[in-house]
A and B are shown apart, each in its own frame.
Chain A
Amino acid sequence: MSGWEPGSSSLKTPSRTVTLGRVQPQTPALRTIFCNDRDSNFAHRYKGNSISTTKYNIFTFLPKGLYEQFRRVANLYFLMVSILSATPYSPVNPVTNMVPFSLVLLFSLIKEAFEDWQRFQNDNSINNTPVDVLQAQGWETLQWKKLQVGDIIRVKQDGFFPADILLLASTNADGVCYIETANLDGETNLKIRKALEKTWDYLTPEKACEFKGEVQCEQPNNSLYTFTGNLVIDNQTLPLSPNQILLRGCSLKNTDFIVGAVIFTGHETKVMMNSMNVPSKRSTLERKLDKLILALFSTLFSMCLIGAMSSGIFIDRKYFYLGLGETVEDQFNPSRRFMVIILTMLTLLTLYSTLIPISLYVSIETIKFVQSSQFINKDLNMYHAETNTPASARTSNLNEELGQVEYIFSDKTGTLTRNLMEFFKCSIGGEIYGTGMTEIERGIAERKGIKVQEVQTSTGSVREKGFNFDDVRLMRGAWRNEPNHDACKEFFRCLAICHTVLPEGDMSPEKIKYQAASPDEAALVLAAKNFGFFFYRRTPTTIYVRESHVERMGKIQDVSYEILNVLEFNSTRKRQSVVCRHPDGRLVLYCKGADTVIYERLGSGNDDLNKVTRDHLEQFGSAGLRTLCLAYRDLASDLYESWNEKFIKAKSSLRDREKRLDEVAELIEKELILIGATAIEDKLQDGVPSCIQTLSRAGIKIWVLTGDKMETAINIAYACNLLNNEMKQFIISSETDAIREVEERGDQAEIALFIKEEVKNQLKQCLDEAPQYFCSPSGPKLGLVIDGKCLMYALDPSLRVMLLTLSLNCASVVCCRVSPLQKAQVTSLVKKGARKITLSIGDGANDVSMIQAAHIGIGISGLEGMQAVMASDFAIAQFRFLEDLLLVHGRWAYIRLCKVVMYFFYKNLAFTLTQFWFTFNTGFSGQRFYDDWFQSLYNVIFTALPVVFVGLFDKDISPSLSKKYPELYKEGVRNMFFKWSVVVVWAFFAVYHSLVFFYFISASSSTCRDRSGKMFGLWDVSTMAFTCVVVTINLRLLMMCNSITKWHCISVGGSILVWFVFIFLYSAIMTPLDRNDNMYWVIYILMGTSYFYVTLLLVPVAALLVDFLYLSVQRWFFPYDYQIVQEIHKDDIHSTGTSDLLELKQQLTPDEARSYEISKLPKEVSKHTGFAFDSPGYESFFASQFSKYVPPKAWDVARRASMRSKATPK
């Protein structure tokens, strides 16, 4: 984390324009493209348009693929063992270790190849997509991959752009075309691109042939929304902007076709240069698994060491039958005992190599892959019908991590709230309109004892998505009769004109759709429509509004406003202005923005109105509404003209264009006249409060990290059940008088020092106070609210520990006004400082850093862009699906994986220990007990499949029960099933079983076991033992299952059967090539004795008896919670998924739960005015304000720029 140390990072130059790593072009700084002239371009050797996203090709696959495999330590180990087993020191045939190892390698390589093949196919189909290219006066269909820089191409409606192209001409009037950028940022709204006027005509092939332009532009870079360049045509230099660039990945909409010139191709296109590598995460369980493997390694080495030392002691010439003459090889030379030890060490290492479970990783990967691709992705409970999005696991690494989450960091907007803005109230000319009551207000009123009667919706009320306003005084043109009707008119006009919304679809009020960057804007334009100011069409220079001043009288008037300038919204400005010319020639600047910003720029006079409106703003804010102020200014034409010159100059500047535009805008946005304020309601997502309650019962602590103001954040926290009045709340805020006073003095160093001191004091005070609450079990829970500025200082290394101690003791924490970087810092604080498993959930680009910082990142695939989803590990459509994801899938994945790991551990230990005991009886010579093939197939055939089925199907309780008893989740949080004590128990079983396997069989076979008095040899005994091992180990699996499907039975039975089939064949065939004849006929000899059957019954029962006893005692006296729940619901009929859902629905509807919780809202009336505007760029605003280095992230630029690129008419 580069910005982790606030002190050091503040030394870095605050960069407001966020640049990306590769944005800055290297020499040469410019690229010159000769349009329609392949020969001239040839000299530059631009890359072709074919792309390849594959990791390997046919030649590199084997070396590279193998290299990837051997980067795993386990594989290296097995390679080493395989090599060792080919040396004379090996007691085993090389096949013993090579067969399973190559099977495992082969499996992994096939998987890699398959994935890469899919990528290749995908690339191929893209590369071979046809596109029309201008060649010899006509359009010719070529494949995408044949496209070259400088080609003139034609793209038809709904077609995708094959490369980054410069828009030359469009069939639409004014050279405009519409594009959809869903593939780039997930936004489905249309955006306008507009060709330079000079090139509008090059539409037909005949005309286009004549086009001989020269494009000078920046080198390829990955900044999606910036472009600087010039088009030189007919000795004229025309500036180019992103407005003329059509990016690969976008598609053409609402336009018959366009003609363009290719400028960047293939891997040099912006979208390809933007390909983001999601950092791969490993689950905590897997990291603990490494420790277990390490423990196994040390066990292995100590076993080898014991064996090797003893062999050094054992070896002696007295055993004449071993032929230990003077010339004996080193390993058995009694005169060189040290060498004996060293070499026997190698021998034993190969012999005991089965201790490390070779197929463990492959099995785990298979299990996890199926879990994520089949179970999580296809869970109907997590399918959101409204948005048609199923859940999606973007990585299969973290399934079991979902079962151990202790902290959830949630974004507010779009995650907890619906990001659905509804126009709810407004204040015009000092009068509040809108009779609705937010649920927050209703709650306040109820607590005050006022009976709230359900307001009858008046006849005039219009309710649609985005508009929930009811006031007869304004609707249906009634505002004409209001005393302040002029203000109303300006208000509505401002709403209808001052925005960057695109109308889409039919131009009737019923059918029109508004495409807007933020739902706030759409809601405002929608409101204007409902007030009778219907914005229905926009051209780059004009906005058409159908003004029906008095609807009943049918006075409908289409008015066109000429848009002269748009001063865009961004997070620094916190406002947006439009300069327009009314049909009557009147020049007006309309402005909307944050109250603080607007009030600074108001002209003198009208103090009463301003004061009343400010009161209203506070009222709205306390009701949880989002507010904006509207203002206007009449402009004199000469004043405007002189300003416009400066504006154009700033606009065409190549350097610092953005900054200079802001400066110019500052010149005209002053002396404004306030019209009023709007209030928009931010809807909560479905089921959020009940989901949060369930999760907190599951022991998960939920922190809200939001960029919103403290008051809004607190209100939402109340609404979501996170805070309530029974809680002791600690509020650490920078909005205190003392701090404000210091801030007014303006000395940065002093401010920093003062705030730090203040924060320290507050933290100390809270910490002093806190113990008395959380020490008593029945005491109130604690809640902490902290704002971004304080957080910045609290995250300082000296205070971090205090912050952590305090916040870990709080049931819920709300951080407001935090930047994306701080979100990530808070997440890392808990992740690294408290070593707890964290989960971040968010939907927006500003959550990306937090999503990447946490153990698990979850993206909401919802209304905002795809950036969060792209960075996430799992994507779900709704916050409430967390319940299924964590309590059902995560819990199961955790329990299953623990079982799988433990079982692997057990089965290999038990198997290898029989070898070890045998070693004691062979003079520590390292003689193998089992046949080579038994040993090599043990892991990959005879015990491989059943455990996979347990990893997939084991089910302790039904999903509905996991949600009904969320407390069960705590077992995962406490890591109950993968503790060292569990490992010890399994190790005990393994040791015990191996003792039973070896000693029972060797003791019972010491006298003849055949009616004809013949004795068993080594291989008869070992085959007997191996049969017992296979049967016992497979049966043990059934004992650890909570549910047994037919697949369990088939696989367990099948594994045992496969062993018998194998040994029947194997001992009947004699091949001279691969083995000694040791095993010939062995099983038939064995099965001809009654001893075989008597022992086969005895050994498994004697071994499993102890396990059974342990399981019974554990269940009877120390039951796990899930076992109790199993017992409670023992007789329940197995319910299906659909009825599970119904059952849950009946408990408490989210709305009921929510209104219940809302009734506990705080009594204080807050003084906040509720400014909120969904501004995707605000993270950089915070960053610059806090002098923070912002990590260059593609999304940041992308989001900021997407605002800008949207329909900027000139």
Chain B
Amino acid sequence: MSSNTPSSSAGGVGSADSAAPRRNSKRPKYSKFTQQELPACKPILTPRWVISAFMLVSIVFIPIGVVSLFASRDVVEIVDRYETACVPENFRNDKVSFIQSPSTNKSCTRRLTVPKRMKQPIYVYYQLDNFYQNHRRYVKSRSDSQLKDNSSWDDISSCKPEDDANGLPIVPCGLIAWSLFNDTYNFSLNNQQLVVNKRGISWKSDRDSKFGSDVFPRNFQNGSLIGGKSLDPTVRLSEQEDLIVWMRTAALPTFRKLYGKIERDLQPNEVIHVTLENNYNTYSFNGKKRLVLSTTSWLGGKNDFLGIAYLTVGGLCFFLALSFTVVYLVKPRRLGDPSYLSWNRNPGGH
């Protein structure tokens, strides 16, 4: 580097190292690093390697795919879309005014037939559509410090526009809490109430660390019908599990949130009556609402994607391994055939 400045080397004549070194050898010292002879393995993608790699992948992936697919198929899922059905016929043309009117009857009854035996626990989800919980304005409209700790209850700087009401800070503040989902579901089987357990539906880490046990809702909305649910001001936040679930914002605009658990088995062809309060306004933005009842497997809920993806990749690899083998047999290229060298292929060209 210093060699870029000849002036310094020319001027540097007085330095101690210039006087002597002519006698010294400037022969560079040998090291594997400087001579670029570090031991290395040099994998070459020979046909054998290619075929075996593809084979290996297919051998590993196809079984995993089959297992995953079976796991997914084992899951029994009942999905009921109700956002239109639960609007009375005369309001079908103006759903928004239906949902926004305080006087209309929001109750609605749905019948769900169990297709297969469902082992407990059966999870109850609501699924929303076209709901951008991941919108930037929405995601950041919360105050983590306020949720965690009562002492910072007035820390609402990030909560706009739902930060205060009547000059007093809202707890919990922000758009997310404000828009809390407020449809309710009651299940009955053979006229017998099916108990929905709403405890333990949120992540434990959220309950323990993000939502303080000394924080109580204050000054929160009174549950006007356009938006969210009201919160019981006597229940500490760490126990408001619906809120905790809601506040773990979803990644995509179509999402499911856990509503509760039904802790008993359901037999095939049993009919569940669902009495639901259709309070939440998704009609403004044409959002769908679904009620989902689902069991789980070791891999989670019903989702064939992983199984299919594994099978596709595995199958593709198998196919590729086969076709490479065929090509290898039909039209082999000798390894290291000098006639493939560009200067041997067209000697005249350059």
Residues of A within 8 A of B (CB): 51, 53, 91, 115, 118-119, 122-123, 125-126, 129, 144, 158, 160, 162, 183-184, 248-251, 271-272, 274-276, 278, 316, 318-323, 325, 327-328, 332, 347, 369, 373-375, 377-380, 383, 385, 388-390, 392, 394-396, 699, 777-778, 870, 892, 921-923, 925-927, 953, 955, 959, 965, 967, 970, 1000, 1002-1018, 1020-1022, 1042-1047, 1070, 1072, 1076-1077, 1080-1081, 1084-1085, 1089-1091, 1094-1095, 1097-1098, 1101-1102, 1105, 1108-1109, 1111-1112, 1115-1117, 1119, 1121, 1123-1130, 1134, 1136-1137
Query: How far does the Cβ of B94 sit from chain A's closest Cβ, in whole Å?
Result: 14
| Docked-complex contact B301 and A1077, CB < 8 angstroms | no
Known contacts A322-B175, A1011-B298; is A1085 also within 8 Å of B205 by CB? yes
| Docked-complex contact A1105 and B28, CB < 8 angstroms | no
| Docked-complex contact B39 and A1077, CB < 8 angstroms | no
B329 within 8 A of A: no
**Nearest neighbor of B144 in chain A, beta-carbon distance:** A1077
| Docked-complex contact A1009 and B348, CB < 8 angstroms | no
A residues in contact with B26, CB < 8 Å: 383, 388-390
Q: Mark B317-350, 1 if CB is under 8 A from A, else 0.
A: 1001000100100000101111011110001111
Contact of A1126 among B5, B28, B42, B161 (CB under 8 A): B42
Q: How far is the CA of A250 from the CA of B40 in the complex (A)?
A: 49
Q: How far is the CA of A661 from the CA of B161 in the complex (A)?
A: 95
Q: Which one of B160, B309, B350 has the greatest number of beta carbons of chain A within 10 Å?
A: B309
B residues in contact with A347, CB < 8 Å: 136
B300 within 8 A of A: yes
**Nearest neighbor of A1049 in chain B, beta-carbon distance:** B41
Q: How far is the CA of A1006 from the CA of B13 in the complex (A)?
A: 73
B residues in contact with A1097, CB < 8 Å: 64
Q: How far is the CA of A1136 from the CA of B200 in the complex (A)?
A: 66
B residues in contact with A1098, CB < 8 Å: 61, 306, 309-310, 313
B residues in contact with A1090, CB < 8 Å: 298-300
30 A–B contacts from the bound complex (CB under 8 Å): A129-B15, A158-B19, A183-B10, A249-B13, A272-B7, A276-B7, A316-B285, A374-B33, A389-B26, A390-B26, A953-B36, A955-B36, A1004-B305, A1007-B256, A1008-B301, A1014-B258, A1044-B42, A1072-B144, A1076-B144, A1084-B205, A1091-B299, A1098-B309, A1098-B313, A1101-B61, A1115-B45, A1116-B50, A1119-B340, A1128-B336, A1130-B336, A1137-B37
The 8 lowest CB-CB distance pairs between A and B, nearest first, are A777-B348, A275-B7, A1127-B336, A1007-B301, A1081-B205, A1128-B336, A1013-B123, A925-B136
Query: How far does the Cβ of B126 sit from chain A's closest Cβ, in whole Å?
Result: 11
Q: A1003-B305, A1116-B324 are in contact. List 10 more A-B contacts (CB 8 A).
A: A271-B10, A325-B161, A383-B27, A777-B348, A1006-B305, A1014-B203, A1043-B40, A1117-B333, A1124-B340, A1127-B44
Contact of A1044 among B40, B281, B350 (CB under 8 A): B40
| Docked-complex contact A926 and B136, CB < 8 angstroms | yes
Q: How far is the CA of A741 from the CA of B344 in the complex (A)?
A: 52
Q: How far is the CA of A778 from the CA of B141 in the complex (A)?
A: 77
| Docked-complex contact B11 and A1009, CB < 8 angstroms | no
Q: How far is the CA of A392 from the CA of B210 in the complex (A)?
A: 61
Residue count of chain B within 8 Å CB distance of chain A: 126
| Docked-complex contact A955 and B201, CB < 8 angstroms | no
B residues in contact with A392, CB < 8 Å: 3
B residues in contact with A144, CB < 8 Å: 14
B2 within 8 A of A: yes
**Nearest neighbor of A371 in chain B, beta-carbon distance:** B36
List residues of B (25-71) whose CB comes within 8 Å of A's CBs. Answer: 25-31, 33-47, 50, 53, 57, 61, 64, 68
| Docked-complex contact A1008 and B35, CB < 8 angstroms | no
Q: Which one of A248, A375, A1080, A1112 has the greatest number of beta carbons of chain B within 10 Å?
A: A1112
Query: How far does the Cβ of A153 sit from chain B's closest Cβ, in whole Å?
Result: 13
**Nearest neighbor of B159 in chain A, beta-carbon distance:** A323
| Docked-complex contact A323 and B144, CB < 8 angstroms | no
Q: How far is the CA of A160 from the CA of B15 in the complex (A)?
A: 9
**Nearest neighbor of A1097 in chain B, beta-carbon distance:** B64
Query: How far does the Cβ of B206 sit from chain A's closest Cβ, in whole Å?
Result: 8
Q: How far is the CA of A1016 from the CA of B281 in the complex (A)?
A: 24
A residues in contact with B317, CB < 8 Å: 1105
Q: How far is the CA of A1163 from the CA of B37 in the complex (A)?
A: 48
Contact of A1004 among B43, B255, B306, B343 (CB under 8 A): B306
| Docked-complex contact A274 and B296, CB < 8 angstroms | no
Query: How far does the Cβ of B192 sit from chain A's closest Cβ, in whole Å?
Result: 23
Q: Interface stretch among B80-88, B102-110, B243-251, B269-277?
A: B243-251
B268 within 8 A of A: no
Q: How far is the CA of A651 from the CA of B88 in the complex (A)?
A: 121
Query: How far does the Cβ of A31 sit from chain B's closest Cβ, in whole Å?
Result: 21
Q: How far is the CA of A959 from the CA of B37 in the complex (A)?
A: 10
| Docked-complex contact B14 and A162, CB < 8 angstroms | yes
Q: Interface stretch among B111-119, B127-135, B213-221?
A: B127-135
B254 within 8 A of A: yes
| Docked-complex contact B296 and A1011, CB < 8 angstroms | yes
Residues of B within 8 A of A (CB): 1-16, 18-19, 25-31, 33-47, 50, 53, 57, 61, 64, 68, 121, 123, 125, 131-142, 144-145, 148, 160-162, 175, 178-179, 200-203, 205, 209-210, 226-227, 245, 248-258, 261, 281, 284-285, 294, 296, 298-303, 305-306, 309-310, 313, 316-317, 320, 324, 327, 333, 335-338, 340-343, 347-350
Query: How far does the Cβ of A912 sit from chain B's closest Cβ, in whole Å?
Result: 17
Known contacts A323-B178, A325-B161; is A923 also within 8 Å of B135 by CB? yes
Q: How far is the CA of A1137 from the CA of B28 in the complex (A)?
A: 14
Q: How far is the CA of A922 from the CA of B10 in the complex (A)?
A: 63
| Docked-complex contact A1102 and B29, CB < 8 angstroms | no
Q: How far is the CA of A319 from the CA of B179 in the complex (A)?
A: 11
| Docked-complex contact A122 and B299, CB < 8 angstroms | no
| Docked-complex contact B337 and A1124, CB < 8 angstroms | yes
Q: How far is the CA of A1000 from the CA of B306 in the complex (A)?
A: 8
Q: How far is the CA of A53 from the CA of B9 in the complex (A)?
A: 10
Q: How far is the CA of A789 from the CA of B300 in the complex (A)?
A: 86
B residues in contact with A158, CB < 8 Å: 19
Q: How far is the CA of A870 from the CA of B68 in the complex (A)?
A: 69
| Docked-complex contact B335 and A118, CB < 8 angstroms | no
Q: How far is the CA of A378 from the CA of B28 in the complex (A)?
A: 5
Q: How far is the CA of A328 from the CA of B42 in the complex (A)?
A: 61
| Docked-complex contact A184 and B348, CB < 8 angstroms | no
| Docked-complex contact A271 and B301, CB < 8 angstroms | no
Query: How far does the Cβ of B172 sit from chain A's closest Cβ, in whole Å?
Result: 13
Q: How far is the CA of A921 from the CA of B136 in the complex (A)?
A: 11
| Docked-complex contact A1015 and B36, CB < 8 angstroms | no
A residues in contact with B257, CB < 8 Å: 1015
| Docked-complex contact A377 and B28, CB < 8 angstroms | yes
Q: How far is the CA of A274 from the CA of B137 in the complex (A)?
A: 64
| Docked-complex contact A1085 and B203, CB < 8 angstroms | yes
Known contacts A321-B227, A1016-B251, A1101-B61; is A275 also within 8 Å of B11 by CB? yes
| Docked-complex contact B306 and A1014, CB < 8 angstroms | no
B residues in contact with A778, CB < 8 Å: 348
| Docked-complex contact A323 and B338, CB < 8 angstroms | no
Query: How far does the Cβ of A780 sit from chain B's closest Cβ, in whole Å?
Result: 13
| Docked-complex contact B284 and A395, CB < 8 angstroms | no
| Docked-complex contact B251 and A1002, CB < 8 angstroms | yes
| Docked-complex contact B44 and A1080, CB < 8 angstroms | no
| Docked-complex contact B11 and A1072, CB < 8 angstroms | no
Query: How far does the Cβ of A1040 sit from chain B's closest Cβ, in whole Å?
Result: 11
Query: How far does the Cβ of A210 sit from chain B's closest Cβ, in whole Å?
Result: 29
| Docked-complex contact A967 and B342, CB < 8 angstroms | yes
| Docked-complex contact B203 and A321, CB < 8 angstroms | no
A residues in contact with B338, CB < 8 Å: 1124, 1128
Query: How far does the Cβ of A516 sit from chain B's closest Cβ, in whole Å?
Result: 19
Q: How far is the CA of A858 from the CA of B153 in the complex (A)?
A: 72
Known contacts A1080-B210, A1128-B338; is A1014 also within 8 Å of B320 by CB? no
A residues in contact with B45, CB < 8 Å: 1111-1112, 1115
A residues in contact with B25, CB < 8 Å: 388
